Structure 1
């Protein structure tokens, strides 16, 4: 569509030109205008380098209305004020999902499995746990994409195929980011399939679950 074409053909080259110091004032003004129109952000909210990270966008998109949009599903909003600061537990979408997940888990544990936990079940401990997580891997270059690991595996196994499923409203792992990672790792194009849905981060929630299930079954049956 128009937004994807703009991102590939105009925006990405403009970002590279800015880094190289070759972006003209005229081109920057033109890109800024289109970027504002497509994202809904005022031009004043977009920095000199034209770069917009997802989390900043989630906070700025509806700032004039005092709202923050969900990273895990941008169709959900919560007030910007009084957030606890946890990027997951306080996410506008996750605050809607998680109570249902936890309630169902407790019911299954208690009624179906007859298990007593003896302590509260902590469904999300992002700030206490993952903020301090060591993501380095032995024998792997720092910052290496996991897509590169996948490329190695596909080279070793010619029968390995990959299905990349994305949600249009997911700001954590956007469809464009997924495609860029796959392209950068140079996975065999003939063994990679892409499917996109009108969904957030979790494709199996809501009205897209049946379409996702059907696509997954078709992929496995090939």
Structure 2
């Protein structure tokens, strides 16, 4: 969906033992000779493994958009990616939606889309966002148990672009093959290289090199997209547009000891306090309130943070007073944490007097802990509210409705192997002062900057949820506004905001505007095609 753990991986159902019936004695079977190839196969574990043969299992479907019926072919399948020596190293799973088009008409755009984690499959975007089907989820409450309602998505982008949902290696149905074991794909640069190879392979086997091309990433998928667009252009794949949904582009500013992350979170804290009616003088609307908070955060608050221990008691008290007015937290609490409110503490403290916590992925959601005394919430109320519906719907749709055949189990995530510090977060950014960049914590905003400078027609859309606490909108603004692109390229960068969380599309109240903003972006990025 990401740079955070979202849901527990699906377990395999246990098979019930079958009773032995009293029947006639079966014929004797001669045991294979010890050490023979047949014996070795008999002793080998029965493990489901991905195939080195590419797969495609197309089905037909239709969806109504704006009163018009669009026929399409949906294809679950795989592409095999190979290393520079031509060896097959991974099988990459995708589900592609290709709309019917009149013979001889211009090539349609194609959008490659994926979630993040790192370690998340594309399940969230696939079953909730721009595809022609989606699962219905509730408004800020726990989703009902099965059966889940999968319906046509009348806000799909299929009227503007064909869509290819891709699972990262290790997630969904994507797997390492051959001599590969997996860890060689689990890092920023390794992942970008794998996606570049997968995208190019899809273009080749589906004759899509002449199509306008878009990348659509969510969460860590935005960090991937910012690096991937440059990697593709370096390999000759010109991209028309990049959609960044709920962005995190720079790992560096999140290191312990740096204060920028506290500045980054402040407008999201204010939006959350506004939503839950925790402000004494609550404005009527989020904007221009949040514009005011932004200015104070990067002005007086950032200046106070920069002073460190040189901040006087009078200055400290003044900052705490204004910060309390913006966040709904008490001055006493703010002074007790040295004006630096970690995310977990905010989520626990804001509604502590109501015995409630707020969600990380979407702070509109509320959770209930075992007690009110902890420093942080026991769980993310957003995750626990909707993950069951998405997991159930994905499996029902892929293996039931589409009838996809495979021995593999779909992994909604693979955090057990990829998360917990196992992901290589280092990245070598392109160019830079002094003739080249060194390996450092990833900041792929630098890659996106290079891509935009090399391709002045490249368009970028940044979409953000006000209640997203995982990748706060002010952080996206900071990263994108520090790309140092020429003023003539600023017009190619657009920002849009929604009263929703990390997965913007789960709020039905904003999906129409979400679609309109995407429509305008695609029209702009394909002008002249």
How far, CA to CA, are the matches of 1:121 and 1:189 in structure 2? Answer: 41
Runs of 4+ displaced beyond 6 Å: none
Aligned to 1:190: 491
Specify the SS of the correspondent of 1:17: helix
Which moved further from structure 2: 5-14 or 120-129?
A: 120-129
Aligned to 2:513: 211
Report how far residue 53 of structure 1 moved.
2.7
Report how far residue 125 of structure 1 moved.
4.5
How far, CA to CA, are the matches of 2:380 and 2:414 in structure 1? Answer: 13
Kindly indicate whether the alpha-carbon contact (under 8 Å) linking 1:77 and 1:92 is maintained by their aligned counterparts in 2: yes
For structure 2, the residue ranges without an aligned partner over 5 or more in a row are 1-288, 430-438, 525-529
How far, CA to CA, are the matches of 1:128 and 1:3 in structure 2? Answer: 39
Kindly indicate whether the alpha-carbon contact (under 8 Å) linking 2:428 and 2:440 is maintained by their aligned counterparts in 1: no
Which of 448, 469, 472 does residue 174 from structure 1 map onto?
472
Report how far residue 6 of structure 1 moved.
2.0
Provide closer, same or farther for how the CA distance between residues 80 and 175 of structure 1 changes in structure 2, counting only shifts above 3 A: same
Specify the SS of the correspondent of 2:481: helix
Aligned to 2:457: 159
- Larger helix fraction of residues: 1
Whose RCO is larger (CA < 8 A, sep 6+)? 2
Report how far residue 37 of structure 1 moved.
2.0
How far, CA to CA, are the matches of 2:408 and 2:333 in structure 1? Answer: 45
How far, CA to CA, are the matches of 2:491 and 2:460 in structure 1? Answer: 10
How far, CA to CA, are the matches of 1:39 and 1:138 in structure 2? Answer: 35
How far, CA to CA, are the matches of 1:6 and 1:147 in structure 2? Answer: 25
Larger Rg belongs to: 2
TM-score scaled by length of structure 2: 0.38
Report how far residue 199 of structure 1 moved.
0.7
Does the alignment pair 1:7 with 2:270?
A: no
Q: How many residues are aligned here? A: 215
Report how far residue 71 of structure 1 moved.
0.8
Specify the SS of the correspondent of 2:441: coil
How far, CA to CA, are the matches of 1:75 and 1:127 in structure 2? Answer: 28
How far, CA to CA, are the matches of 1:197 and 1:163 in structure 2? Answer: 14
Specify the SS of the correspondent of 1:131: coil
Aligned to 2:397: 108
Provide closer, same or farther for how the CA distance between residues 138 and 28 of structure 1 changes in structure 2, counting only shifts above 3 A: closer
Q: How does 1:8-157 map onto structure 2 within 5 Å?
A: 8-18=298-308, 21-46=309-334, 47=336, 49-81=338-370, 90-115=379-404, 121-126=410-415, 129-137=418-426, 139-140=428-429, 141-157=439-455
Kindly indicate whether the alpha-carbon contact (under 8 Å) linking 1:163 and 1:194 is maintained by their aligned counterparts in 2: yes
TM-score scaled by length of structure 1: 0.85
- Larger strand fraction of residues: 2
Report how far residue 60 of structure 1 moved.
2.1
Which moved further from structure 2: 174-183 or 106-115?
A: 106-115
Aligned to 1:220: 522
Kindly indicate whether the alpha-carbon contact (under 8 Å) linking 1:58 and 1:70 is maintained by their aligned counterparts in 2: yes
For structure 1, the residue ranges without an aligned partner over 5 or more in a row are none
Specify the SS of the correspondent of 2:329: coil
